[in-house]
Chain A
Amino acid sequence: MSAFFRNPRAARRSPWAVGLGGKGLGGLATALALLPLSAGCRQDMHDQPKLQPYEASAFFEDGRAVRPRVPGTVRRGAVIGDDHLTTGRVDGELATTFPFEVTAGVLARGQEQFGVYCSPCHDHAGTGQGMIVQRGLKQPSSFHVERLREAAPGYFFDVITNGFGAMYDYSDRIAPEDRWAIVAYVRALQLSQNATLEDVPAAQRVALTGEAGQ
């Protein structure tokens, strides 16, 4: 499912590398005239035999330099043994709490990640009318319906991790910590659409109403 590249330079490696004809002065003049054309003709150091990400490789059967992860291996830095964080479940049940404290920093990260991965369909307010939906993708449910407002945080994490309906899973694209940050931001979005003036700190009400709070 991954992609690899053909080497764009391979095709034009040879034409200018051939010996230059002519003898004596004529040869020298020819060589000098052709000198500019020889620029960039040798690419041995440029294209070393080592394999780089997404390069093609004749060595492996599938033609890719990138190798699939061997089952059972754990990548460096991966969290293991914390089901709450990585599966969104506690004792098999959808988690009702976050695995780490939700700070302003977490919410900011969640907002950013939501903008990148979720807003194309769910739109920036979470009503499910993003650009891709306008172009024909099935409209997802709004985050502001009763069912989802009452859903546990673990439910949203589970949907991001395993997909839901027409939505593909994002487990290979969004790290667990960022998935939780997105869940936290979805919670903030839900609050924003059902908030009253009393939810706004008194000091900031002025900006909304134009008058100082009582």
Chain B
Amino acid sequence: MTQIFHPSFNTISKVTIFGAVFFLGGGLWLTAEVNRSGYVTNEGVVREQPVHFSHKHHVQGLGIDCRYCHTSVEVSSSAGMPSTKTCMTCHSLVWTNAELLELVRDSYRTDDSIEWTRVHDLPDYAYFDHSIHVKKGVGCTTCHGQVDGMPLMWQENSLQMEWCLECHREPELFVRPREHVFDMDWQPAEEQAALGARLVEEYDIQSLTNCSTCHR
């Protein structure tokens, strides 16, 4: 009986077995990379909105503070989406006929909601609270990036757990003085390490990495 496999198949089978390790490893690596990419996390993806609200215009152009609209950020888990009334505080008098704002005027007239597309969507099993982060000196831009430069809103960071933990493990690398939390252009005037260590002490900032800190 002739041999089915030529002797050269010895080499081929060895290479195949050896190669499978890389093939599997590559597959896992690719999976991890895709999982971290904007395709899954929405990081860096500009979201289309029913009304083309520009943070860049309102914050950088006009100098309006974050809290003017996100009123509950200091006292609540949610930073607060402004009601249409907040928009109309100014827009009942400026840009009154702008087509861009038709939906806003409609909403104010009819009491129907504007259906915004949520940009920052945490998983429902993560319990995030804005107020405590603001109180402990985490600046808006630390998580949300330079919102004052965003014509349409996007998510600056992945919002994945490994990203949260970067700060939860070493808060001293990210915290700033409370009075600068809403400052869009704040830069540490000294070494962040020295400042951070002092603030951690002063504000009693803890490195909370227990699962139940965020997952309950």
Contact = CB atoms under 8 A, between A and B. Distances in A.
A99 to B, nearest CB: 20
A109 B114 CA distance: 33
A100 to B, nearest CB: 19
A178 to B, nearest CB: 10
A39 B63 contact: no
Contacts of B27: 32-33, 35-36
Nearest to A54: B81
Contacts of B64: 120, 131
Contacts of B107: 1
Interface stretch (B83-91, B136-144, B167-175): B83-91
Given A46-B124, A47-B124, A1 B83 contact: yes
B198 interface: no
B94 interface: yes
Given A1-B85, A45-B125, A168-B89, A8 B42 contact: yes
Interface stretch (A135-143, A195-203, A205-213): A135-143
A9 interface: yes
A99 B124 CA distance: 42
Interface string A4-40: 1111110000000000000000000000110111011
Contacts of B23: 32
A48 interface: yes
A135 B94 contact: yes
A137 B62 CA distance: 13
B65 interface: yes
A56 interface: yes
B68 A116 contact: yes
Secondary structure class of chain A's binding surface, majority of residues: loop
A144 interface: no
A116 to B, nearest CB: 4
A50 interface: yes
B207 interface: no
Given A46-B124, A116-B67, A1 B115 contact: no
22 contacts: A2-B113, A3-B113, A3-B114, A5-B117, A6-B118, A9-B121, A39-B31, A39-B34, A46-B124, A48-B124, A50-B124, A53-B77, A54-B81, A64-B113, A116-B67, A120-B64, A120-B90, A136-B93, A166-B92, A168-B85, A168-B92, A172-B83
Given A1-B85, A5-B117, A36-B33, 10 more contacts: A1-B83, A3-B82, A3-B115, A9-B121, A33-B27, A39-B31, A47-B124, A53-B78, A168-B92, A173-B86
Closest 8 CB pairs of A and B: A5-B118, A48-B124, A40-B40, A36-B34, A116-B65, A53-B78, A46-B123, A39-B35
